[in-house]
Amino acid sequence: MKFTTPATTNVIDRERYVGRPYDRIDGPLKCTGNAPYAYEHHKEVPNAAHGYVVGATIPKGRIVSIDLDAARRAPGVLAIVTAATAGQLGKGSKNTAMLLGGPRIEHYHQAVALVVAETFEQARAAAALVHVNYAQEQGRFDLAAVKGSAKPAPDGQDKSDTRVGDFERNFELAPVRLDASYTTPDQSHAMMEPHASTAVWNGDKVTVWTSNQMIDWCRTDLARTLKLPKEKVRVVSPYVGGGFGAKLFLRADAVLAALGARAAKRPVKVALHRHLIFNNTTHRPATIQRIRIGAGRDGRIMALGHETWNGNLPKGKPEHSTLQTRLLYAAPHRMTATRVAELDLPEGNAMRAPGEAPGMMALEIAMDEMAEKLNMDPVQFRILNDTKVDPEKPIRPFSERRFAECLRTGATRFGWSKRNPKPGQVREGRWLVGQGVAAAFRNSPVLTSGARVRLASNGLVTVETDMTDIGTGSYTIIAQTAAEMLGVPVERITVRLGDSDFPTSAGSGGQWGANSATAGVYAACVKLRELVAARLGVNAADAEFVDGKVVAGGRSLPLAQAAADGELVVEDKIEFGDLDKKNQLSTFGAHFVEVAVDTITGETRVRRMLAVCAAGRILNPKQARSQVIGAMAMGIGGALMEHLVVDKRLGFFANHDLATYEVPVHADVPHQEVIFLDEEDEYSSPMKAKGIAELGLCGVAAAVANAIYNATGVRVRDYPLTLDKLLDKLPLAV
């Protein structure tokens, strides 16, 4: 099915099942421990050996030699895989050699060997006996030090530089100006489930149970890496224990599990321990950002400029932290620029809301600083500079844009009018109390997505797609979609996900998953409705599917009757035309935060949070709220504590575990409220939905920073806002 015209009234609009707050279908399985994750497929693979990864202990250089003799003689060892023994590997969409180093070493803790043994303890003990001699080379580990060598990012989907009008001249002419720099640190995904895989070979075919967000991407790259036809590779990932972008791509655990199983002639399971997750896999790269805003005394922005610098491995992707600045606020003269320098740290890549999350951390502080210069309320300043068209392409309107309504709704609900605009004025004993606001923004892309739907003779429906559920509720919203389309209760629908034997879906990532995947199920269900109508001898266009029956032409027939002679199976996919090119598809929101800062210790406590979101039709408000409050908690981490500490001598992240890389815990997270505006975006898909996952994060850290400034009068532009950056500037306790 091609989606080429705006969605008019359709079956989904009945909202008998879609739009309802159903509990998660997978919830009982997870709560009882019966949902198997990548390392736990004991029934399918009852006799798996264990692989333990040896990581490089230098950040850059080459392997001179590897001594494996002692490890091979260790008890229980079945095989050892290195780049030398693995044979020549192919290249996937990225340089797969990075997943198994040798002789070149690209970064610290790059995998250099896999030791396979009967038990995990034996594999770990033997891995400690692998002796590697390195020739280390000088590396670059400090973004500030290499900033001057940064170059324009390679043009891809997101251009490095954009320009409208004459930014420099109009910035200088503006009567009110801001020119400020901000930094965001390297951050880790820190998800609960580690990168893990279990592999088994059957002749020349390999099956890998893995933790991955994008099944088809993983399968394609694994096939290329192993130099196998794609049909010889099966990837299975029914449950993913958190990803946040770290599991978008093929990683070392899947490659090494497959290579280890081939070498040992046994099924092999591999899990990266937490230290390897931090340094072996991807992370959010640090940024240095410069923002310039010039405005008239009436508060209207005349000139808006945003430049960002980050570092990555050679050929690594940049962090496009200017994406939101291109679209969020009106300004006739504007400029954005992205520069990337070469660093020899582990690879920087997608982490929840790549680009917008760190970009909003800077832009939304700058907007507050500018509002103060103008002596304007920061909510009103943002509303004044709202726009209904793409500021860089004024001929392209937003399909839906309710940004100002989000701000107004949030201000009313939060009690913003009671806020004291003068910083440092509200005290409760030794605590200074303040409130902050920030915009929320994230684009809402759509991707081709397919599904297969089966109708059994007993009326039960099964939906199959390689879509993944990374804790976001894919099982449930897909069941709700099929229930709406076919008129059967959610309880009579079975959803099967995360298997490359199923039709290719959009996968989970980039806020495209829910809308695209459910639209793919919608397309398959339309096809099944047509087949059912034909079997029952009724007109599909006039038929109503409700309560397990097909009603048309004065007749009411059981749905199951269409499959009386055998199961009906259909398959289709949703393909999107150019509506997203004619209209800008984005989601909008507003974050409001209240904090208290201890004047003696500098400790910051977030007291309450409110998010107002406009993100198309909300397919399941209970699950959507869960995603948003989780993202808000993640935003607290980005604001106050999350920071990968770079050892600039040895070239690695020193705090590479959950004891020293701090993330918010229950005591750090206050009361959270979420409001969804009633919205249906007919240009987005037949579902009229968008995404919500990253909208809940983008802007949170800035709202916290702005609240801290309102509480204390101390402006911090370098994240995270730890107490040492506040302590010597705080007013004395009274």
Q: CA 717 to CA 734: how far, in whole Å?
A: 27
Three-state SS sequence of 304-330: EEEEEEEEECCCCCCCCCCCHHHCCCC
Kindly report the CA angle at 518 between 401 and 29, in degrees rounded to 5? 120
The pLDDT assigned to 734 comes to: 57
Both tokens assigned to 381: 């300043």
Contact in structure between 212 and 497 (CB atoms under 8 Å): no
Taking only the tens place, the pLDDT of each residue in 264-286 is 999 999 999 999 999 999 999 99
Q: Exposed, middle or buried: residue 519 (CB in 10 Å: 0-12, 13-18, 19+)?
A: buried
Which mean pLDDT values do the consecutive 10-residue runs of the chain (734 residues) have? 94 97 97 97 94 98 98 98 94 72 97 98 98 98 97 76 97 98 98 97 98 98 97 98 97 98 98 96 98 98 98 93 97 97 97 97 98 98 98 96 98 98 97 98 97 98 98 97 98 98 97 98 98 97 96 96 98 95 96 98 98 98 98 98 97 96 97 97 97 96 98 98 96 69
103: preceding bond cis by omega (within 30 degrees): yes
List, as one string, the DSSP characters of 632-691.
HHHHHHHHHT--PPEETTTTEES--STTTS----GGG--EEEEEE-----TTT-TT-B--
> Rounded distance, CA 397 to CA 129, Å?
62
Residue 321 in tokens: 């932290």
- pLDDT on residue 94: 56
| Displacement of CA 227 from its chain's centroid (Å) | 29
Tell me the per-residue pLDDT of 696-730, one tens digit each, with 9 for 90 and over: 999 999 999 999 999 999 999 999 999 999 999 99
Q: Which of 494, 516, 692 is nearest to 589 (CA)?
A: 692
The number of angstroms, rounded, from the C-alpha of 324 to the middle of its chain's C-alpha atoms is 16
**Cα–Cα nearest to 243, from 349, 111, 92, 360:** 349
Active site residue 118: no
Eight-class DSSP state of 689 = B
Report the side by side order of strands in the sheet with 549-552.
Answer: 544-546, 549-552, 555-558
Strands 568-576, 449-455: pairing kind:
antiparallel
pLDDT, tens only, 336-387: 999 999 999 999 999 999 999 999 999 999 999 999 999 999 999 999 999 9
Percent over 90 (pLDDT), the chain? 96
The Cα 249–Cα 418 span in angstroms is 47
The active-site residue out of 319, 347, 642, 694 is 694
Count Cβ atoms within 10 A of the Cβ of residue 542 and give its class: 0-12 exposed, 13-18 middle, 19 or more buried: exposed
Nearest to 587 by CA among 626, 625, 618, 549: 618
CA–CA separation, 107 and 137 (whole Å): 11
Nearest Cα neighbor of 644 from 281, 370, 328 is 281
Q: What is the pLDDT of residue 411?
A: 99
Query: What is the reported pLDDT for 157?
Result: 57
Q: Nearest CA to 102 among 62, 60, 135, 132?
A: 62
Angle between helices 215-226 and 252-264 (to 10 degrees): 50
- Torsion-angle region of 646 (φ positive above 0: left; ψ -120 to 50: alpha; else: beta): beta
Task: Tell me what pLDDT residue 98 has.
Answer: 86
| Cα–Cα distance, 732 to 734 (Å, whole number) | 6
